[in-house]
């Protein structure tokens, strides 16, 4: 553990923990993760509830393998906040020389993910309310950003998790957002150089009131599910509800049971697909650039926006408008400078019946 991590806690951290169960018959290898973010407790609660059912014999793993990770980030959980030293669900990959606690988590978690075929990652979101939804990966493609060949498997399970809203387009939208973030950082650097009487930029954008430490590489958008797809597997992120929603743990537990049945790991009828799915495609990621940037109102998850509607106003008075009708996704009123503030999504017919 890094000295930086040790300094933030007065008690020892628990070790990394996973529970693996092997059925008597061959089958897929599933891994279920909770607590990637320390303030998101519903996944942990759902996993522990299902493990209790298994221990009591009420649920039997009959085939394949399932590994449960109740708390993927024990430092963030012990601190009771989203991150320990940094966001575990960004730039996730093994690290040769760990500097932050999440680097150590990655060196343990990434090989564990790679040893499985399927990932169900359980999360919750900020806000007072909001219905659960699932995020899926791209359609099958051999492009350079996120090549993939298991879209059919992800779509089939997404229809059976017990929710009726599916969102896709994460990594492409994040990469586009990074391009805008990079352009903004370059304009800040140039402006500071000119103000200092220099003709060329000699330093990158910093945290001096305008921009925090900016992540200017699209690979920063790679989290658990993206890493799983890079390893040849497939994965879903289930947002089980708002952080404080008392129903969220039950959503998580139900989704685990449904996944086990869908994959044939338990002797149970396969879950029926949702009769109707609302599909949404992420199209824009908007960063907060200054503390004085403000929303025009208290946006909530999946609030509708009209084409041309003003969503936020920058410090300089410029308006951020919706380019077309859609929905607000992942609104974060606590976004730090240089962090995603909200996403925009548009209707998608990918999950049309």
pLDDT digits (tens, 9 = 90+) for 128-144: 778 999 999 999 999 99
Say how far apart CA 348 and CA 34 lie, in whole Å.
Answer: 28
Say how far apart CA 342 and CA 310 lie, in whole Å.
Answer: 13
pLDDT band at 212 (very low <50, low <70, confident <90, very high): very low
pTM reported for the whole predicted model: 0.90
Say how far apart CA 106 and CA 109 lie, in whole Å.
Answer: 5
Say how far apart CA 77 and CA 270 lie, in whole Å.
Answer: 34
Say how far apart CA 260 and CA 30 lie, in whole Å.
Answer: 8
Residue ranges of the chain assigned to CATH 2.40.50.630: 284-348
Check whether 191 has a pLDDT greater than 80: no
Q: What is the CATH number of domain 284-348?
A: 2.40.50.630
**Among 160, 216, 156, 208, CA closest to 186:** 216
**Would you tell me which CATH number, out of the four given (3.40.630.10, 2.40.430.10, 3.90.1150.10, 3.30.750.24), belongs to the domain 3-171+217-278?**
3.40.630.10
Say how far apart CA 256 and CA 49 lie, in whole Å.
Answer: 10
What own/partner pairs with CB < 8 Å and gap ≥ 24 does 293-298 have? 293/341, 295/331, 295/333, 298/333
Return phi, psi of residue 334, to 5°: -100, 15
Give me the pLDDT at residue 9, please: 52
Contact criterion met (CB below 8 Å) for 170 and 282: yes
Give me the pLDDT at residue 270, please: 95
Give me the pLDDT at residue 167, please: 98
**Among 149, 8, 23, CA closest to 86:** 8
Give me the pLDDT at residue 338, please: 84
Contact criterion met (CB below 8 Å) for 282 and 88: no
pLDDT band at 209 (very low <50, low <70, confident <90, very high): very low
pLDDT single digits (tens) 24-83: 999 999 999 999 999 999 999 999 999 999 999 999 999 999 999 999 999 999 999 999
Return phi, psi of residue 120, to 5°: -115, 110
Mean pLDDT of the chain, nearest integer:
89
Say how far apart CA 82 and CA 75 lie, in whole Å.
Answer: 10
98, with CB counted inside 10 A (0-12, 13-18, 19+), is middle
Give me the pLDDT at residue 214, please: 44
């Amino acid at each position: 553990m890094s000295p930086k991590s040790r300094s933030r806690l007065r008690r020892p951290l628990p070790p990394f923990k996973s529970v693996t169960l092997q059925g008597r018959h061959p089958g897929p290898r599933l891994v279920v993760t909770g607590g990637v973010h320390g303030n998101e407790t519903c996944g942990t609660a759902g996993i522990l509830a299902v493990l209790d059912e298994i221990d009591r014999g009420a649920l039997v793993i009959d085939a394949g393998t399932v590994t449960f990770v109740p708390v993927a980030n024990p430092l963030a959980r012990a601190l009771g906040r989203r991150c320990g030293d940094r966001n575990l669900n960004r730039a996730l990959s093994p690290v040769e020389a760990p500097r932050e606690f999440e680097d150590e988590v990655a060196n343990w978690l990434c090989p564990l993910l790679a040893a499985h075929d399927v990932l169900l990652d359980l999360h919750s979101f900020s806000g007072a309310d909001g219905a659960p939804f699932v995020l899926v990966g791209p359609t099958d493609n051999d492009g350079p950003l996120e090549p993939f060949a298991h879209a059919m498997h992800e779509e089939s399970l997404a229809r059976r998790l017990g929710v009726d809203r599916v969102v896709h387009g994460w990594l492409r939208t994040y990469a586009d957002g990074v391009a805008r973030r990079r352009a903004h950082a370059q304009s800040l650097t140039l402006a500071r150089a000119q103000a200092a009487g220099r003709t060329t930029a000699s330093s990158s954008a910093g945290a001096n009131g305008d921009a925090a430490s900016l992540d200017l590489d699209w690979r920063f958008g790679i989290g658990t599910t993206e890493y799983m797809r890079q390893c040849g597997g497939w994965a879903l992120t289930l947002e089980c509800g708002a952080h404080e929603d008392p129903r969220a743990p039950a959503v998580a537990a139900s989704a685990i049971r449904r996944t086990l049945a869908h994959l044939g790991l338990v002797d149970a009828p396969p879950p029926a697909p949702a009769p109707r799915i609302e599909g949404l495609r992420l199209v824009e990621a908007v960063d907060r650039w200054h503390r004085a940037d403000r929303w025009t109102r208290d946006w909530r998850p999946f609030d509708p926006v009209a084409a041309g509607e003003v969503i936020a106003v920058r410090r300089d008075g410029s308006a951020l408008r919706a380019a077309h009708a859609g929905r607000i996704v992942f609104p974060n009123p606590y976004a730090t400078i240089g962090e995603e503030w909200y996403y925009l999504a548009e209707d998608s017919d990918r999950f049309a019946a």
